[in-house]
Amino acid sequence: MAEIQLERNEQLYRHITENSTDFISLHTLDGKYTYISPNYYHSLGYSLNEMVGKSPYDFIHNEDIKKIKFLNGNRNTSAEIKTVTYRFRCKNGKYIWIESKYKNVLSVDKVLDEIICISRDVTKNKQKLIELEEEKKSLKKTVYTDPLTGIFNRRYFSREYKKTYQEYLRDQIVFSLLIIDIDYFKKYNDTYGHRNGDRCLIKVTDTLAKGVRKNDSVCRIGGEEFGIILPNTNKDEAISLAERLCKQVEELKIPHINSDVCTYVTVSIGVSTANTIIDSVNLNMEKLFSLADQALYESKKSGRNRVNFR
């Protein structure tokens, strides 16, 4: 009777395994297949002989191999069920997304430890998640990007400025702020028209963006006004960069016959720096921005096309 019951149980388990929509596999502790359920062939194209004795490394996408912890020296013998998602190469060369749940168990003869793994094709769900993530990135880019110039907008400036200031308070990392205004831009629009004014803005923006370093943030914070956040930049470095930007904009030689300062389009710049631990007591975000704005006003008052520091 015991043998009959054992045979019935074996038939039942085989029936479940062979008709399950999930992929069922057994592995040695180093990951090699010792058993695969028949639907591996129908879904992935591989026969039993093509997989048994081989490692999942032979089929998993190179970028996802590190995710497969049970192949990376894991010898956890607990009953904990773990989950991992990765790309698996089918016989036709295409990759599908697989979600596997696995745990360490004793073998049928209760002699060896092995791994039982139940997997399923989650390609459609994963693709939806990827598409949602792309939409999220696109939306985030739209939210933080100025539509005319393509650089960061005031919303991004406010977020990044706050983040940089908090880092300054926490780690005393010096940083500087530039506020930039295109000189007599209203006169430019009145003279050349708003369409040409847009072209001028784009050219000046490109020059500012190319003139700073990789980690600097150039943002359009008003009509013809820009804010540039300069992480890890002291007073002298900020002034030097600002003067270089002034020169580069003038060297664009965009005609501006009604400018009171130059025959070409120019900019004025105000600079401020958060530099010392003492500053952090009296110098808040609003004060630092106000200092840069006052420096910009002084640049305009003293002749424009120049840099001032406060």
Strand 267-274 versus strand 175-182 pairing type: antiparallel
CA–CA distance, 156 with 226 (Å, rounded to integer): 12
Give domain limits for the chain: 17-127, 141-309
| Residue 81 three-state SS | coil
Amino acid identity for residue 290 in this structure: S
Confidence of residue 204 (pLDDT cuts 50, 70, 90): very high
Higher per-residue pLDDT: 109 or 73: 109
Average confidence (pLDDT) over 170-180: 92
Average confidence (pLDDT) over 7-19: 61
Residue 111 clears pLDDT 70, i.e. is over it: no
Residue 106 clears pLDDT 90, i.e. is over it: no
Strand 225-231 versus strand 113-121 pairing type: unpaired
Q: Quote the pTM value.
A: 0.62
Query: Looking at the domain 141-309, which fold is it?
Result: Alpha-Beta Plaits (3.30.70)
Beta bridge partners of 230: 176
Q: What is the pLDDT of residues 257-297, one digit of tens each?
A: 999 999 999 999 999 999 764 455 567 889 999 999 999 99
Q: Which CATH superfamily is domain 17-127 in?
A: PAS domain (3.30.450.20)
Active site residues: 224
Higher per-residue pLDDT: 24 or 6: 24
